[in-house]
């Protein structure tokens, strides 16, 4: 069974540009989560989907971040426009039971 996959693995963009990160959860997992780790800080929760619905988006830092989950399958996280402080590693996780979360390899975002 394939694990959680994320694309791209790395992204380097200029400040003000737009970047879209993608996450494909484990097949059959209705729960999908996004987390972020900025340099030197803890891994922080961003939001949680149940199927295509946003269950909890309390961790989204501001309205420059937009997450979608089309058809309850893969999810995208768009940052527009990107700022320097958005640099970090973005992790996606999925869960079947809403308790145990399985993580992807992460996307390292660098904003110059």
Partner 1 sequence: AQSVTQPDIHITVSEGASLELRCNYSYGATPYLFWYVQSPGQGLQLLLKYFSGDTLVQGIKGFEAEFKRSQSSFNLRKPSVHWSDAAEYFCAVAISGGYNKLIFGAGTRLAVHP
Give the footprint of partner 1 on this chain (CB under 8 A): 4, 31, 33, 35, 41-45, 48, 55-56, 59, 91, 93, 95, 98-106
Nearest CB to partner 1, comparing residues 25 and 104? 104
Q: Classify the phi-psi angles of 76: left when phi > 0, otherwise alpha if psi is within -120 to 50, otherwise beta.
A: beta
Q: How far apart are the first and last CA of the chain?
A: 37
Nearest CB to partner 1, comparing residues 14 and 40? 40
Name the strand (E) or helix (H) holding 54. Answer: strand 53-56
| CB of residue 17 to partner 1, shortest distance in Å | 25
CA dist 16 and 2 (Å) reads: 35
Nearest CB to partner 1, comparing residues 79 and 92? 92
């Amino acid at each position: 069974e394939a694990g959680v996959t994320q694309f791209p693995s790395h992204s380097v963009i200029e400040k003000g540009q737009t970047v879209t990160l993608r996450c494909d959860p484990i097949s059959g997992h209705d729960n999908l989560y996004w987390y972020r780790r900025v340099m030197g800080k803890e891994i922080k929760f961003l939001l949680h989907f149940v199927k295509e619905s946003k269950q909890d988006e309390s961790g989204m830092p501001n309205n420059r971040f937009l997450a979608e989950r089309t058809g309850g399958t893969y999810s995208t996280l768009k940052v527009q426009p990107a700022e320097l402080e958005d640099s970090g590693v973005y992790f996606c996780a999925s869960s079947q039971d809403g308790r145990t979360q399985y993580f992807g390899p992460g996307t390292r975002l660098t904003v110059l």
